[in-house]
Amino acid sequence: DADVTQTPRNRITKTGKRIMLECSQTKGHDRMYWYRQDPGLGLRLIYYSFDVKDINKGEISDGYSVSRQAQAKFSLSLESAIPNQTALYFCATSDPRGGYSRNEQFFGPGTRLTVL
């Protein structure tokens, strides 16, 4: 079944460490996104990519970087993790074909990251 997968599902790390979260999808979608969810703040967009050669900053990109290795893979890196990056991270995909009615995004199961 076509899906969006994220690894790892849970990660505990220490302040200052570099960490990478990975996302893979089998939906064949060109567009991929990284969000973080914090209590009381909903989901906020970190980075997004509309194709392999396209990377764009979202509303909260500071402290993060991304890599779009292939159509199916989109990785999020924290170069030097800090405690306020403790959050639930979601990857999502969408399909631009189909026009107006195809704005829905498909989410992975999330990665719970704790920075001590």
Partner 1 sequence: DQQVKQNSPSLSVQEGRISILNCDYTNSMFDYFLWYKKYPAEGPTFLISISSIKDKNEDGRFTVFLNKSAKHLSLHIVPSQPGDSAVYFCAATRYTGTASKLTFGTGTRLQVTL
Of residues 44 and 73, the one with the C-beta less far from partner 1: 44
Interacting residue with partner 1 among 34, 47, 48, 64 (CB under 8 A): 48
Interacting residue with partner 1 among 49, 108, 113, 115 (CB under 8 A): 108
Of residues 14 and 109, the one with the C-beta less far from partner 1: 109
CA distance 103 to 29: 12
Q: What is the CA 47 to chain-centroid distance, rounded?
A: 7
Say which residue the tokens 């973080």 belong to: 36
Helix (H, G, I), strand (E, B) or coil at 37: strand
Task: Based on the shown chain and the rule CB under 8 A, indicate whether residue 74 belongs to the binding site for partner 1.
Answer: no
Of residues 18 and 49, the one with the C-beta less far from partner 1: 49
CA distance 57 to 86: 20
| Spatial CA neighbour of 48 closest among 59, 62, 34, 60 | 34
24-43 mask for partner 1 (x: CB under 8 A)? -------x---x----xxxx
CA distance 15 to 48: 25
Residues in touch with partner 1 (CB under 8 A): 4, 31, 35, 40-45, 48, 50, 58, 90, 92, 94, 96, 100-110
